[in-house]
Amino acid sequence: MEIRISPSILAADLSNLRSELEKVENADLLHIDVMDGHYVPNISFGMPIIKAAKRSSAVPLDIHLMIADADQFLEEFASVQPEFITVHYEAVTHLQRTLQKIRDLGVKAGVSLNPHTPLNGLKYILDDLDLILLMTVNPGFGGQKFIPAMVQKVRDCRELIGVRPIELQVDGGIGLDNLADLLMAGANNFVAGSAIFGAEDPAFYIEKMRAAARQG
């Protein structure tokens, strides 16, 4: 499956959003972390920043909703025509319906699982999914330490996916030090916030991630 690198703008200097996004023009996706202070113990940003990101970059948006009541806001998030909208398994009651609604809005549908959430709940809804996001930290903050046990979860998830065209995304503490292990385990889509925006040359860091993925 195609390798994709998705820098998380949570780690960007939001007072200079346009110039920050110019530094990652070579990315495949722009990862947008929406946090509501209910589902996760932190608040990030919402539509005004997402619209500003959309105006400032041609890179397709990858919206990661860490919010309660996602259903209520899907139309609004879909209005910026992102490539993906991802909701949390733990925060949605009728997941299959939510995924269908995302697709009906013309957006690819993703589900995100926290580190402790088992994979088996996905078994019967695989045909409704375009992306599975395995959290490799607990959601809520950038700059946390990668949980190594998640490598096995990625392996198990790729096996569950089988031949279906579902992207397997990892998010949290991702960087050049763990990319090869995750790639080997079956991940193809890599979110990185602090590693990319904290690098001296973010575009070059993205290229290094791609090169590492090609070698893997």
Q: Which residues of 107-142 are buried (b: 16+ CB within 10 A; e: fewer)?
A: bbbbbbbbeebebeebeeeeebbbbbbbbbbebbbb
Backbone angles phi, psi at 67, to 5 degrees: -140, 150
42 versus 100: smaller Cβ distance to ligand DX5: 42
193 binds, among ligand DX5, Zn ion, none (CB under 5 to 8 A by kind): ligand DX5
CB of 176 to ligand DX5, least distance (A): 12
Q: Which does 82 bind (CB under 5 to 8 A by kind): Zn ion, ligand DX5, none?
A: none
What is the layout of strands, in order, in the sheet containing 30-35?
4-7, 189-192, 167-171, 131-135, 108-113, 84-88, 61-66, 30-35
Which of these segments, 25-33, 124-132, 162-170, 175-183, binds Zn ion (CB under 5 A)?
A: 25-33
Question: Pattern of binders to Zn ion over 147-186, x per CB under 5 A?
Answer: ------------------------x---------------
Q: Can you give the binding site for ligand DX5, defined by CB under 6 A?
A: 8, 10-11, 31, 33, 64, 137, 139-144, 171-174, 191-195
Catalytic residue check, 36: no
Map tokens 């139309």 to a residue.
Answer: 75
Q: Does 64 bind Zn ion (CB under 5 A)?
A: yes
Closest by alpha carbon to 99, among 110, 114, 83?
Answer: 110
Other CB atoms within 10 A of residue 144 CB: 15
Query: Diameter of the chain by CA atoms?
Result: 44
Q: Which residue is nearest to ligand DX5 (CB)?
A: 193
The question of whether 104 is a catalytic residue gets the answer: no
Residues lying near Zn ion in the complex (CB under 5 A) are found at 33, 64, 171
Q: Which residues are catalytic?
A: 33, 171
